[in-house]
């Protein structure tokens, strides 16, 4: 029993400790612990789906297991792991590279948990060396490839907002390539594990550093511009600005009541945007601010105005609503707290 517990620890503990480390070093605490746990759960579900899919595909393709594990399994498994990240990106729940890294690694960690538990059941006599390789090598590979997909996809989605789906392809291809190379066993299992242990932390550390710089830059510029625009809205001087002139011109297309709703929507959106940035600054300083009734009420008002304006009205406001992924993400992040 003690030996079985040791094998389980070797197979599962490294990837969970590394994930915990990622969460702890995120100074802005962008992802709540419950969301990390949910993402691990999604990774567990993905592992079960991948196991079933591998059985079906292996039977359909009728190729040997070695060829399948090198060229087919990486495509299926990385696509399934990446699917949840794609959902998060498309629903603006990933704002920075650090988000993509943590969420991606959590999916891979969940995947590795189920996979290693399955192998523990299938190979109860396997020695500790094998479980060290699976825990420090294979499990870290699963977390690392999906983390890299999250990092690359979030970065390219931000740089190429008009090519959302194309922005997802490079990261997925990188994840598949690394997974396939790992399964080719060009190096010994021990050397492959050492490469993974060096490469994954190094790449994620670089992503964290770039993400921290991007967050500070975005907070400084975004906060000032939002505050300036909000002051113009509240002071009634908006018509002296090109934004106010644009809104006034919409009266030729939209009813007057709709234009008023647009102005209200713009104000609520700006207030939530400023509050979200302030929350991040407080978190960096070590403070935690719980969600309050005023914020919840503003979200209710925002949703009401969205329904009132409809897609056409929101599209008319598109140039002034911070449509980039970071600015949409901050509203989602604030509501998630």
Cβ within 8 Å of residue 143, ≥6 positions away: 15, 18, 19, 104, 105, 106, 107, 108, 109, 112, 200
Q: Is the dihedral of CA 168, 171, 174, 176 positive or negative?
A: negative
Q: Is residue 60 part of a domain?
A: yes
Residue 47 CB neighbour total at 10 angstroms? 25
Q: Is residue 220 part of a domain?
A: no
Q: What is the pLDDT of residues 233-263, one digit of tens each?
A: 666 665 555 666 666 666 656 677 777 787 7
Domain limits for position 141 = 2-205
Average pLDDT of the residues of the chain: 78
- Quickly state the pLDDT bin for 186 (edges 50, 70, 90): confident
More confident position, 73 or 246: 73
pTM comes to: 0.68
Q: Report the percentage of the chain scoring pLDDT > 70.
A: 71
Q: Is residue 13 part of a domain?
A: yes
Q: Is residue 299 part of a domain?
A: yes
Kindly state the DSSP code that residue 229 receives in the 8-state scheme: H
What per-residue confidence (pLDDT) applies to 292? Answer: 67
Query: Has residue 273 got a pLDDT over 90?
Result: no
Is residue 139 within 8 A of residue 12, CB to CB? The reply is: yes
Q: What is the pLDDT of residues 123-149, one digit of tens each?
A: 777 778 787 888 888 889 999 999 999
One domain, residues 180 and 36: yes
Q: Report the percentage of the chain scoring pLDDT > 90.
A: 26
Is residue 108 within 8 A of residue 150, CB to CB? The reply is: no
Q: Is residue 260 part of a domain?
A: yes
Query: Has residue 26 got a pLDDT over 90?
Result: no
Full DSSP string of 90-123: HTT---SHHHHHHHHHHHHHHHHHHHHHHHHHH-
What per-residue confidence (pLDDT) applies to 334? Answer: 57
Specify the 3-state DSSP secondary structure of 61: helix
One domain, residues 189 and 302: no
How far is residue 62's CA from residue 81's CA, in Å, rounded to a whole number? 24
Number of helices (H), then strands (E), in the chain: 13, 0
Total number of domains constituting the chain: 2
Residue 316 CB neighbour total at 10 angstroms? 19
One domain, residues 17 and 69: yes
């Amino acid at each position: 029993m003690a030996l079985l517990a040791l094998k389980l620890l070797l197979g599962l503990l490294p990837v969970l400790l590394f994930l915990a480390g990622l969460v702890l070093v995120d100074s802005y605490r962008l992802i709540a612990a419950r969301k990390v746990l949910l993402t691990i759960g999604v990774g567990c579900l993905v592992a079960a789906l991948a196991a079933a899919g591998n059985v079906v595909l292996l039977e359909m393709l009728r190729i040997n297991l070695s060829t399948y594990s090198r060229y087919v399994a990486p495509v299926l498994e990385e696509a399934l792991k990446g699917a949840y990240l794609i959902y998060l990106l498309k629903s603006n729940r990933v704002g920075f590279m650090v988000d993509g890294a943590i969420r991606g690694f959590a999916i891979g960690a969940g995947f590795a948990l189920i996979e290693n538990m399955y192998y523990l059941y299938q190979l109860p006599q396997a020695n500790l060396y094998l479980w060290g390789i699976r825990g420090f090598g294979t499990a870290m590979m699963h977390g690392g490839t999906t983390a890299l997909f999250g990092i690359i996809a979030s970065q390219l989605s931000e740089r190429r907002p008009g090519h959302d789906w194309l922005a997802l392809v490079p990261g997925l291809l990188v994840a598949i390539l690394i997974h396939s190379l790992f399964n080719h066993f060009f190096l010994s299992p021990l050397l492959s594990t050492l490469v993974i242990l060096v490469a994954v932390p190094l790449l994620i550390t670089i992503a964290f550093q770039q993400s921290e710089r991007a967050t500070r830059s975005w907070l400084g510029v975004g906060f000032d511009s939002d505050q300036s625009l909000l002051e113009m809205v509240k002071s009634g001087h908006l018509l002296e600005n090109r934004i106010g002139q644009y809104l006034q011109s919409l009266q030729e297309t939209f009813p007057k009541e709709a234009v008023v709703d647009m102005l209200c929507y713009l104000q609520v959106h700006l207030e939530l945007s400023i509050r979200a940035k302030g929350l991040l600054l407080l978190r960096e300083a070590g403070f935690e601010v719980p969600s309050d009734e005023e914020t919840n009420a503003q979200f209710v008002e925002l949703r009401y105005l969205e329904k009132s304006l409809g897609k056409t009205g929101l599209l008319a406001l598109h140039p002034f609503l911070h449509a980039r992924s970071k600015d949409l993400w901050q509203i989602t992040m604030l509501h998630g707290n």
